[in-house]
Structure 1
Amino acid sequence: MPVWSQVVASPSAVLLAALFSGHVLADFLAQTSTLAARKRRSAPAMLLHGFLVLAVHLACVLPFWSVELLAGVLAIALSHLAVDVFRARVDPRWKQPLASLLMDQGLHAAAILACWAWLASRGAAERGWIEFDPAWMPAASRMLLLASGFVFNAKGGTGIVRSLLARFPQAVPAARTADEDVYATGRVVGCLERFIVLGLVLLDQWAAIGLVLAAKSIARFKELDSRPFADYYLIGTLTSVGVALASGFLLRAVLFQ
């Protein structure tokens, strides 16, 4: 049996995938743009986000249910809340949106890994209320991680691109015009672009990625005569594709080695 199959054919591996999936779903899917903005200035909104983090994690790890698991998930939710409160306080003074986002996600990941290590050391994953069949554990881990990868590219990728573009406000069309529909369309296009590139990376179709970029450039060819738009296009496209490539490489390393 390949090394990865031996690793994922264990309840602890599925639990780790479930915990990270819970984070991605809670932070990038359950959290709407409105809630993300309100929690920075409203304690009830911040508490609502913390409750959603707890609820989504509990739903994802339900097969492993135990008192120890409940304690671990509570610790993850509380640490998530503490990190978000800290970020809300320092962001107005720091004014580094990309660094803030990366720090935020790094701290969340560290908390999840710490709680998972504690749970695994106590054998909490093996004491769930369902009997695990090693035959489906690799598939379960892959499904959870693949779903998380696409959700992250949909919302997290948009956050990374917008955070980087915020450093160059003169290049962002929405900063100079009132046409928010155009900007919203750009976000959807970027999301679809990352989905396609991520899928092609996972399918090992590298040449097709170039065709995607070429097709997008042709569609925007006339607008590239404008220097501000060209800068916006290059920064946004390269960052967007970079996010999809990085997440694709990570998923391939985890899933297919």
Structure 2
Amino acid sequence: MTDHFVILTLLILAHVVGDFYLQTSRSIKSKSSQGAKTSILANLRHAASHTLLALIVLLFTSSFEFTLIWASLVIGGTHFVIDLIKSHLPKCKGSLLCFSIDQLLHFIVILSVWAYLFGYFTFINIDTLRHATTFEFVSVALAYLLILKPTSILIQFVLRPWRLSSNADNNNQEADEPLDKAGSLIGVLERFIILTLILMNQFTAIGFVIAAKSILRFKDESKHEYVLLGTVTSLAIVLLIGLITQLLLTY
């Protein structure tokens, strides 16, 4: 029998193939159609492809059991329900949050089915969680949480005086809001990558991440200073948190 974790990887691979390579833009449009029949049929076809892919993986990697058929039907059936609900939520159209939640739910289902099939639920209990909650785990988790929302809020406070001055001069706050939101997201991704590199002792690679900011160009020259201030503040915070975390891990 194939290693259990290889089977989990293959199930996730099957999901990626079914969701991103076998699904056309036409089928996506049909799934969110206002016509109930068209929408249900499109979602059924899509869910059927996931059921078939999951069944192929399970039959290929395990000895035949009727449980595998039921497991595949659970993966396909829940995929149908999740996608049908998402397709008819107006605010979900083009939403990154909905897309992320959708994929997370699919992954949880696949992980749960896999854990049930191979008996991993029996290992999940309070004692297991207590042993897994080590000082190293808590330190790393805290570091990642600190460099996300708390750091973003701190950077906003640092940039606020400059921001207010800029708005008073240019009077185009609404026009700059999309840029600020995009910049905030870039900053979060940048800090996540830098912290990961610090914890991996790949300090040289951090220079390439910072260098990527040099390609930014603005018609308003004052924005260069705004972006530079935000970048330096963000970098200083993540370096401080990363180095402290690394020190704690080696203590």
TM-score (norm 2): 0.46
Q: Greater Rg, structure 1 or structure 2?
A: 2
